[in-house]
C-alpha cells in the first residue's frame, strides 16, 4: 500500500459531491491500492448536511478511506493537499446577470486560491468544476502564484462525454467506440464541440466521424447546439442540474491526470492557453485537446483547423477574454 494522498472536495454537501465522493472513496479514481484522506469543505450553514454525508461515507466502510474530515474552515481544508476538487461555487439565481455571478465567484476563488498558496503542497493538482469554471480556475491560479499554472485545470469533460455519446447514439455504437472529440473554449453555450478529428469504430475499423455519419448538416447544426445546451435541457427535465454525469466526468478527468491518457487518444480539459499553436491568446483558461503522461498534460499539436472551426474557436475565446476582464476588475478590488 502506498502513502495516503490528501484529496479535498469543496461544495461537499451538494449534489455533485454526493455522486462523486463514493467514486473517489472506492478506488475508481486514484486506483484500488491508493489510500485516501478525504477532506470535505462547505459553508457553515451546510455543516449539518455535511455531517450526514460524513456518516454515510463512514457507513460505506470503504477500505481505502483512511480518514474523512468535514470542515467549514479553509485553513483546515487546504492543508498539505495533493488534489483539490473545487466543486462549490455560487450558483446562478433567477434574474441574476452573468456579471453578478462572476463577481460572487471571484470572491470565492480568490480566497480558495490564496488558501492553496498558503497551505497546500506546491505539487497540488487543482480541478475547478464550479461555474463559470474557466474563469474561476484562472482566478484561483492567479491567487496562487507559487503553484505552477499547469497544475490548474477546469472541467470540460462533461461536454466531451456528451459529444461522444451523441455521436455514439446517432451511429448505434457504444460511447467507447468514439474517440478524439474535442471541446474548444469556454464551459458555456459558446463552447465548440468539434468532431473533425474524431474517429469511430465501425465493424472493427476506425473511420472519421464525418465519413461514418454522412450527415454534415446535423454535425454542423443540431449536434453542436445539443451539446452546448445539454446542461439546460437536464435542468428543464429534472429541475436540478446534472450531478451523476458531472461526477462521472470529474472522475474521468482526474483519473486521466493521475494515470495518463490511452495511446492514440486525447481528451478535452480547460488549461492555461500559453504557448498553444491554435491562435488562442495567452493567459486564458481555455479548453483544448490534450494528452497526459506522468501527471503532465501537453497540447495536441498540428490538427488542421477549417474556417468553420476557426470562427467558433475565436468566438468562445472572445467570450473568455471578456469574462476574464470583468473578473479581473473585481479581483483587484475583492
**CA quadruple 305, 141, 325, 155: dihedral positive or negative?**
positive
Q: Which three cell numbers stand for residue 42?
A: 462547505
65 vs 254: CA distance, rounded Å: 18
Instruction: Kindly state the DSSP code that residue 147 receives in the 8-state scheme.
Output: S
261 vs 272: CA distance, rounded Å: 19
**Which has the closest alpha carbon to 108: 129, 123, 122, 125?**
129
Q: Which three cell numbers stand for residue 250?
A: 470529474
**Active site (annotated) includes residue 160:** no
Q: Which residues are annotated as a binding site?
A: 42, 92, 98, 105, 129-131, 162
**CA quadruple 305, 309, 315, 320: dihedral positive or negative?**
negative
* Among 160, 187, 197, 253, the one annotated catalytic: 187
Integer CA distances (angstroms), 45 to 84, 221, 224, 234, in order: 22, 44, 39, 27
90 vs 194: CA distance, rounded Å: 30
Considering only the C-alpha atoms of the chain, give the largest distance between any 2 of them, rounded to a whole number of Å: 59
Q: Which residues are annotated as a binding site for substrate?
A: 92, 98, 131, 162
Q: Give the burial string for 260-284 (b: 16+ CB within 10 Å, else e).
A: ebeeeebbbbbbbbeebebebeeeb
Residue 70, helix vs strand vs coil: strand
- The catalytic residue positions are 187
Amino acid at each position: 500500500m502506498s502513502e495516503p494522498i490528501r484529496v479535498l472536495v469543496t461544495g461537499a454537501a451538494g449534489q455533485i459531491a454526493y455522486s462523486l465522493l463514493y467514486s473517489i472513496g472506492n478506488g475508481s479514481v486514484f486506483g484500488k491500492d491508493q489510500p485516501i484522506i478525504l477532506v470535505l469543505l462547505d459553508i457553515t450553514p451546510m455543516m449539518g448536511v455535511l455531517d450526514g454525508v460524513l456518516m454515510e461515507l463512514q457507513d460505506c466502510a470503504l477500505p481505502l478511506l483512511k480518514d474523512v474530515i468535514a470542515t467549514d474552515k479553509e485553513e483546515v481544508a487546504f492543508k498539505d493537499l495533493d488534489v483539490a476538487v473545487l466543486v462549490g461555487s455560487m450558483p446562478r439565481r433567477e434574474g441574476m446577470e452573468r456579471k453578478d455571478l462572476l463577481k460572487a465567484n471571484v470572491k470565492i476563488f480568490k480566497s480558495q486560491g490564496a488558501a492553496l498558496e498558503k497551505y497546500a503542497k506546491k505539487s497540488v493538482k487543482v480541478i475547478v468544476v464550479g461555474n463559470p469554471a474557466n474563469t474561476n480556475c484562472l482566478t484561483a491560479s492567479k491567487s496562487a502564484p507559487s503553484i505552477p499554472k499547469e497544475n490548474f485545470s477546469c472541467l470540460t469533460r462533461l461536454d466531451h462525454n456528451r459529444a461522444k455519446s451523441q455521436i455514439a447514439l446517432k451511429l448505434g455504437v457504444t460511447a467507447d467506440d468514439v474517440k478524439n472529440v474535442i471541446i474548444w473554449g469556454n464551459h458555456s453555450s459558446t463552447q465548440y464541440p468539434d468532431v473533425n478529428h474524431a474517429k469511430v469504430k465501425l465493424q472493427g475499423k476506425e473511420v472519421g466521424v464525418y465519413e461514418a455519419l454522412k450527415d454534415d448538416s446535423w454535425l454542423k447544426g443540431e449536434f453542436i447546439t445539443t451539446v452546448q445546451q445539454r446542461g439546460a435541457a437536464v435542468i428543464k427535465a429534472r429541475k436540478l442540474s446534472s450531478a451523476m454525469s458531472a461526477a462521472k466526468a470529474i472522475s474521468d478527468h482526474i483519473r486521466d491526470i493521475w494515470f495518463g491518457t490511452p495511446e492514440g487518444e486525447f481528451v478535452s480539459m480547460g488549461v492555461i492557453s500559453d504557448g498553444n499553436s491554435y491562435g488562442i491568446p495567452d493567459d486564458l483558461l481555455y479548453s483544448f485537446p490534450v494528452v497526459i503522461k506522468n501527471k503532465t498534460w501537453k497540447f495536441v499539436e498540428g490538427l488542421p483547423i477549417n474556417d468553420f472551426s476557426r470562427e467558433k474557436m475565436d468566438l468562445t475565446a472572445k467570450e473568455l477574454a471578456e469574462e476574464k476582464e470583468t473578473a479581473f476588475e473585481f479581483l483587484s478590488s475583492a
